[in-house]
Structure 1
Amino acid sequence: MDAVQSKERQDFGEDPVACRETSHYQDEYIEGFVDKWDELIDWKNRAKSEGDFFIELLKERGATRILDAATGTGFHSVRLVEAGFEVVSCDGSPEMLVKAFQNGQQWGHILRTVQVDWRWLNRDVHGHYDAIICLGNSFTHLFSEHDRRKALAEFYATLKHDGILILDQRNYDAMLDVGYSSKHTYYYCGSNISVYPEHIDDGLARFRYNFPDDSTYYLNMYPLRKDYTRRLMKEVGFQHVDTYGDFQETYRDAEPDFFIHVAHKAYQETDDE
């Protein structure tokens, strides 16, 4: 942890486009970047844009105990605690967890934070949950299919028998097939901040984040295709997956900035699957 906290600059090696390792994300979320993350999100505008989508989704399914598996700086954890849910806040980045805890305190809450690696989630998180949320495009930090399957299997095992996994991702299909565009309406609502993929191919989406103070940071992520993610969820045991585009049930595939998958552990009779 000390090694991560002491880093002042991101380091992707001599060839940043060749940096495609799951564990590297810890070196990407350095203190300077994490300190600017809330500036990128803009909590007030983010809350306004997504409304009560996740809160209502969880309430409709009777969920009370929630695992926020990618809490980041704590935005959704705080919102869910405020809405009356019992929340455990996890992240693989110690820098993010420190910031999330501080943000929770500012809202008058003591967040229950745990540093975890999803691939060994049940080693560090005990008990079962009504729902797991994995938001903020976080799942795309996993670069190998083995890692993705292992993480999903850990999520599955951590859920109660009728639990749900809510996982989101950028619309990489559109980026790969059509080209990048973003409304920045729902997720990254900060002003005067540019976010765009500096490089994208079938195995890497390298995003560049430019801030008003002329600082620049990068994230290397795997460009998950929507149907591939849905298939993996079902192959690890989830019985049914609903997918929303920018919080809407109906959409044209190229239009949404983000897809939100709701994977059900319990069997459901459906007409379309």
Structure 2
Amino acid sequence: MKVQTEQDFGTDPTKVRDTDHYTEEYVDGFVDKWDDLIDWDSRAQSEGDFFIQELKKRGAKRVLDVATGTGFHSVRLREAGFEVVSADGSAEMLAKAFENGRKRGHILRTVQVDWRWLNQDIHGRYDAIICLGNSFTHLFNECDRRKTLAEFYSALNHDGVLILDQRNYDSILDHGYDSSHTYYYCGDDVSVYPEHVDDGLARFKYAFSDGSTYYLNMFPLRKDYTRRLMQEVGFQKIETYGDFKETYRDADPDFFIHVAEKAYREEE
């Protein structure tokens, strides 16, 4: 099996605005450094038990982690007593997640999926789906976003919940980039910042202390646009938190977390 260590964005990287390109961005070299970027212990401390409590208070037991990455949330949820299936579009990420799980005494149930055809590759229905790590912004086409949300909706039980996060692209687009990395990127030996931003692309540079550099091209989703798509697909009640807080000024959070309930609610 050929190991890919170099990313390829062609001669004009800012023109790469393709949903499928993410599979070429998560090369082995970048995946090997992903845990340095996150720092599991620091991230667990900074986010606390937010996701665990959101799931428990809705009675969720069976959870589908559709953006497993290197396995941070899959492992945490398993250790909190949830039944977790770990999915990702990147085979390299899934392999690292499985390795990380095994180091911590867990055998993760992993499956490689394309969200747009999620229900072809998973089985049964779930009480909750989590899509974390700013992963939803890898979708560049609105049809892809709608199709993905519809697949998530279909994979949930009738009273299920979707928890999806995203960077605060509103603030980046309107005011420029300013992030303390307090919650999501806790590693000390990496610099993360957008090298290019326009209405259709946020190109982030990840520079590590050993001199290695990687990039991710993502679509800068605005908060209200994401909420609207969720509602149009059928999600009923949607709560949006800013860095795990209920109240916030829109420009302040690094990340928004949307908690979208599928359960049908009659209008009061």
TM score, norm. by length of structure 1: 0.97
Q: CA deviation at 1:249?
A: 0.3
Amino acid at match of 1:14: T
Output one character per residue of 1:194-245: Cα deviation in whole Å (capped at 9) or x when no partner: 0000000000000000001000000000000000000000000101110000
Aligned pair 1:138/2:142, yes or no? Answer: no
Q: 2:38 aligns with which of 41, 44, 65?
A: 41
Amino acid at match of 1:103: N
Report the 3-state secondary structure (helix = DSSP H, G, I; strand = E; otherwise coil) of the residue aligned with 1:104: helix
Q: 1:251 aligns with which of 248, 252, 256?
A: 248
Amino acid at match of 1:33: F
Q: CA deviation at 1:8?
A: 2.1
- Output aligned runs, 1:46-125, within 5 Å: 46-125=43-122
Cα distance in structure 1, aligned partners of 2:21 and 2:203? 13
Please name the residue that 1:151 is paired with: 148
Aligned residues: CA RMSD: 1.0
Please name the residue that 1:185 is paired with: 182
Q: 2:10 aligns with which of 8, 13, 16?
A: 13
Cα distance in structure 2, aligned partners of 1:25 and 1:148? 15
Report the 3-state secondary structure (helix = DSSP H, G, I; strand = E; otherwise coil) of the residue aligned with 2:231: helix
Report the 3-state secondary structure (helix = DSSP H, G, I; strand = E; otherwise coil) of the residue aligned with 1:250: coil
Percent identity, aligned pairs only, is 75
Q: CA deviation at 1:6?
A: 2.8
Output one character per residue of 1:76-101: Cα deviation in whole Å (capped at 9) or x when no partner: 00000000000000000000000000
Please name the residue that 2:124 is paired with: 127
Amino acid at match of 1:265: K
Report the 3-state secondary structure (helix = DSSP H, G, I; strand = E; otherwise coil) of the residue aligned with 1:24: helix
Please name the residue that 2:210 is paired with: 213
Please name the residue that 2:20 is paired with: 23
Output one character per residue of 1:251-271: Cα deviation in whole Å (capped at 9) or x when no partner: 000000000000110134688
Q: Which runs of 5+ in 2 are unaligned?
A: none
Output one character per residue of 1:175-204: Cα deviation in whole Å (capped at 9) or x when no partner: 000110001100000003100000000000
Report the 3-state secondary structure (helix = DSSP H, G, I; strand = E; otherwise coil) of the residue aligned with 1:163: strand
Aligned pair 1:174/2:171, yes or no? Answer: yes
Cα distance in structure 2, aligned partners of 1:85 and 1:8? 34
Amino acid at match of 1:94: A
Cα distance in structure 2, aligned partners of 1:119 and 1:245? 27
Q: CA deviation at 1:126?
A: 1.2
Please name the residue that 1:161 is paired with: 158
Q: CA deviation at 1:7?
A: 1.9
Q: Which runs of 5+ in 1 are unaligned?
A: none
Report the 3-state secondary structure (helix = DSSP H, G, I; strand = E; otherwise coil) of the residue aligned with 2:10: coil
Cα distance in structure 1, aligned partners of 2:99 and 2:266? 44
TM score, norm. by length of structure 2: 0.98
Cα distance in structure 2, aligned partners of 1:132 and 1:209? 28
Distance 1:189 1:236, change over 3 A: same
Distance 1:248 1:268, change over 3 A: farther
- Output aligned runs, 1:201-240, within 5 Å: 201-240=198-237
Cα distance in structure 1, aligned partners of 2:266 and 2:248? 23
Report the 3-state secondary structure (helix = DSSP H, G, I; strand = E; otherwise coil) of the residue aligned with 2:87: strand
